Structure formats: structure tokens, C-alpha cells
Chains A and B, each alone.
Chain A
């Protein structure tokens, strides 16, 4: 029990003393996870819109594929991206392996199916007749997209939160494609792994506490956006 209390103390100490290494790790984690969930949201929500409106023969197959992607283990994504990015590999000429960009790519691969999958089911709930009515009233596809987005706000934001949660907490892919390089690609989760393998459990838990705190803050903001102006009959 002592170690938990000690960890809370060291977490606070790291935060209050503006420890440079810790803040570098925090900002890197935030930057990488926010960027990758942003990219995944743009790709995921747009594709969800296209898929949910169209009927085509392979639709069920594609949806199964997306839903499987939601369960993709981070290490598999990491391994895949590592092999692609090897400097003697297919995309080697970009020199991306062991950089923060490589982590963003791997995390985007992880979060996109999650955001896409949840968004598709949200858009599919949108009543067909309402769509017909909107189109009849002269709405073009872009208007339709905006209206559906607004109406499905609750689920879409849940999708984004799920995507963000997956990437900020992910360790396998970051470790593999980032290389866990101190001061460069070491993020909160991989720092936790490193410190616990060094036996510095209090520091490891301190990083964990900071991670939970950040996730809480981001989710608080997103939930606030999600719940704004949703009225229930009282």
C-alpha cells in the first residue's frame, strides 16, 4: 500500500517541480495521441458517411472487416508498420522508423477502424425517410453530411473518445515503431514499461497516474462537447 501513496507523492512532485523530462514525455504523448485520433476521426467519419449511405454487394464483408479491425492488437499494427518502414523496406526511403511520425502512423491504423466502426452504426441509425426528405428539400451531400453529423453527435463523440482512449493507452505499437528513445519517442506508456523493468515501481505508477489524469481531462472536455445542448424531457 505504501508504494501507491509514495507514487502519488512522486507523481505530484514531478508535476509541480516542472520536471523537464516528465513534461517532454507528457507533451509528446498528448501531441501524438491527439494528432493520430484527429487524423483517424477525419478518415473514419468520412468513410463511415460514404459506407452508411451506399448499398453495395460487399458491404457486409467490409463491415465485418472494419469490426475485426476494431480488435486489432497494437503489437500487430506495430509489427506491420515496422516492417513497412524498415530503411531497407518498402517505405524505407522516408526514414520514418523510430520517429514520432511512425508512432502517429501506427496509432492512426489502430484508431481508424474503431472510429469508423462506431460511426457507421451511428449513421445507420439515422432514419431513411429523414434522408429522403432532406434530399427532397434540396440538400446536397455536404449538407446531408453536416446534418447527420449534428444529429449523431452523441455517438460520433463516443467514437472519437474510444479512438483516443485506444491510442493514448497503447504500448505495443509505440514501443516497436518508436523504439522508446529517451527524449524523442518515449511516451507515457512506454516510459511506464521502462521504469518498471528498471524496478522503479513508484515512478512507473506515477507515470500511470499522470496518464489517467490526462485521459480524464481530455474525456471531460469531449464529454462536455458531447453533452452540450442535449435536452431530455423532464
Chain B
């Protein structure tokens, strides 16, 4: 009785195991990008459109900008969508990247606990605010992961003429933006975040409030860069070009303009020149 079922069940079991889920085609494009673009849901919205249009299968590898650049330098990704302008220019200058196009921006904001121990005022610029935090030795939670946000934060400390590394009040999480915001929220710390991730997580961050947000130097520019196929034989030149053109197409511009308005009441990203 038992044995009679054993064969078909085993058959079904192996059939299930070896059913291929893998995409069998050679039109694969590897996109190196940052967690902030993925976590905001923006990529989930535009990539299916691209796949449908071109027949490509896009493998999105969402890591910190620093890591994405390293992957680009190794020729492990075809196209980059990142946010660290200085590093990007260096990447292009060294011959690793082509056709860098800055296509959208949002801004970074300084967040802090509602008690605001460093007494940051809304009319301060970001450098003054960082100086106040350092003077008061108030807890600052840093990404510490070489991401675009982390690179931005370090450049502000540098401009303020301060070096907080190794200070007791300066703590590095080494994790993504979402996790870092949660830690700052729990520990009553100050931190810097892109607006998109903050808005996405706002409902769980009941202890944090935006303190400095309209400083022009806090602009956060996103660019798309094709990895140079002359350096790496395996880079998908055609796909990278298609994706870059797609990002800069009218259709995507319309999506960027309105993205997030329904959910958060404001756009998460703005077009350059908007």
C-alpha cells in the first residue's frame, strides 16, 4: 500500500527540485546600484518596464555605492546607478566608466532625536549643525559602510574641519540606511539620511525628526554610468547603453516626477533642472 505511492511521490519530488527557475537566455544585464534606490521601490517600478521593452533580464545588485564602484572596477557589473559624484568622476577619469549622466536628485537631511541635545536650529546650515554636534559630544550614528551617504557625511565633517573618527560619541553601524535610521531612533542619535529612505521608514521612526533639510549643499545626485567595455571583454555594452537611454527617456522622466506622491505626499526624486 505504502510502496504504491512511493514512486509517484519521489517522481514529483525530483520533478519539483529540478524544474528550472533560471533564466535561460544570454540577454542578461547586471545593474550595480545602491540600497536606497531599491528600498524606495523605485527600481521595482521601472525595471519590469525595461525588461518588457527590450527582452533583457536585469540582475539588480543593490549594495553601497562604494562597493558598487569596486564591482564596476572589476568589470563585474555592466551599468551603475549610484550617488557619489566625486567618486563617479574619478571612476570615469580612470577609464572604467563611460557616458556618465546625472539624471535625478533628492536631498540628504540631518535627523536627530526630538530632545535635540545639541540644540540644532532649523536655520543652521549643515556645517554649523555638525560643529554643534561635535561641540556637545552628542551621539552621532554613521553608516560607516563607504556608501554614497557615508561618503557625503565624511565630506561634511571634512568641510567643518573636524575628525570625529574614534570619538566615543561617534558610532559606525556598517549597515544599510534603514538599519542605521532604526539604530539612531533607538539610541537617541543624530544621523544623516537620504529623504527617500527616511520617508519610507518614517512610520517606525517616532523618535527622530528632520533638523536640517534645505541646505543646498545637501543635494543628492544620482547618475547612471556605463562600464567601459574596452576594459572588460565580458561587459554587456549594448545592454548598458539601452538601459542608460531608457533611464533618460521621456517615459521614465514622467515616472520620476510623480514617484512617491501617492504614498508619501511628495516626490521622492526630482529631475535635473526641475
Residues of A bordering B, CB below 8 Å = 27-28, 31, 34-35, 38, 86-88, 92, 95, 97-101, 179-182, 184, 194, 196-199, 201
Interface residues of B in 8-25 (CB under 8 A from A): 16-17, 19, 21-23
Complex interface bits, B21-46 against A, C-beta within 8 A gives 1, otherwise 0: 11100001010000100010000100
Min CB distance A148 to B, Å, is: 23
Are A87 and B23 in contact, with the CB atoms below 8 A? no
Are B234 and A88 in contact, with the CB atoms below 8 A? yes
Question: B61 interface residue, CB < 8 Å from A?
Answer: yes
Expressed in whole angstroms, the Cα–Cα distance for A97 and B77 within the complex equals 11
Contact partner, B62, options A28, A95, A180, Cβ 8 Å? A180
List 12 A–B pairs whose Cβ atoms lie within 8 Å, in order of A's numbering: A27-B16, A31-B17, A87-B75, A87-B234, A88-B232, A100-B21, A179-B61, A180-B62, A182-B60, A197-B177, A198-B178, A199-B200
Expressed in whole angstroms, the Cα–Cα distance for A88 and B233 within the complex equals 9
The 10 closest A-B pairs by CB, nearest first: A197-B178, A199-B201, A179-B61, A199-B204, A98-B59, A87-B234, A198-B39, A197-B176, A181-B59, A88-B75
Residues of A within 8 A of B155 (CB): none
Are B23 and A197 in contact, with the CB atoms below 8 A? no
Q: Is the interface of B mostly helix, strand, loop or mixed?
A: mixed
Min CB distance A225 to B, Å, is: 12
Interface residues on B, range: 20 to 34
Residues of B bordering A, CB below 8 Å = 16-17, 19, 21-23, 28, 30, 35, 39, 44, 59-62, 74-76, 176-179, 182, 200-201, 203-204, 232, 234
Expressed in whole angstroms, the Cα–Cα distance for A86 and B71 within the complex equals 10
What total count of A-B pairs have CB within 8 Å? 60
Residues of A within 8 A of B234 (CB): 87-88, 92
Expressed in whole angstroms, the Cα–Cα distance for A199 and B201 within the complex equals 5
Residues of A within 8 A of B59 (CB): 98, 179, 181, 184
Contact partner, A198, options B17, B19, B60, B201, Cβ 8 Å? B201
Min CB distance A38 to B, Å, is: 8
Are A34 and B17 in contact, with the CB atoms below 8 A? yes
Are B22 and A100 in contact, with the CB atoms below 8 A? yes
Q: Which residue of B lies closest to A86 (CB)?
A: B76
- Whether A181 contacts B17 in the complex (CB less than 8 A), given A198-B178, A198-B201, A199-B203, comes out as no
Q: Which residue of A lies closest to B13 (CB)?
A: A34
Q: Which residue of B lies closest to A98 (CB)?
A: B59
Expressed in whole angstroms, the Cα–Cα distance for A197 and B59 within the complex equals 20
Expressed in whole angstroms, the Cα–Cα distance for A196 and B60 within the complex equals 19
Expressed in whole angstroms, the Cα–Cα distance for A38 and B14 within the complex equals 11
Residues of A within 8 A of B61 (CB): 98, 179, 181
Contact partner, A87, options B62, B76, B203, Cβ 8 Å? B76
Min CB distance A90 to B, Å, is: 13
Residues of A within 8 A of B16 (CB): 27, 31
Residues of B within 8 A of A31 (CB): 16-17, 19, 21
Residues of A within 8 A of B176 (CB): 197
Q: Which residue of B lies closest to A3 (CB)?
A: B204
Residues of A within 8 A of B182 (CB): 199
Min CB distance A222 to B, Å, is: 14
Min CB distance B264 to A, Å, is: 13
Residues of A within 8 A of B201 (CB): 198-199
Expressed in whole angstroms, the Cα–Cα distance for A179 and B63 within the complex equals 9
Are A197 and B179 in contact, with the CB atoms below 8 A? yes
- Of B17, B76, B182, B204, the most chain A CB neighbours within 10 A belong to B76
Min CB distance A138 to B, Å, is: 29
Expressed in whole angstroms, the Cα–Cα distance for A101 and B177 within the complex equals 29
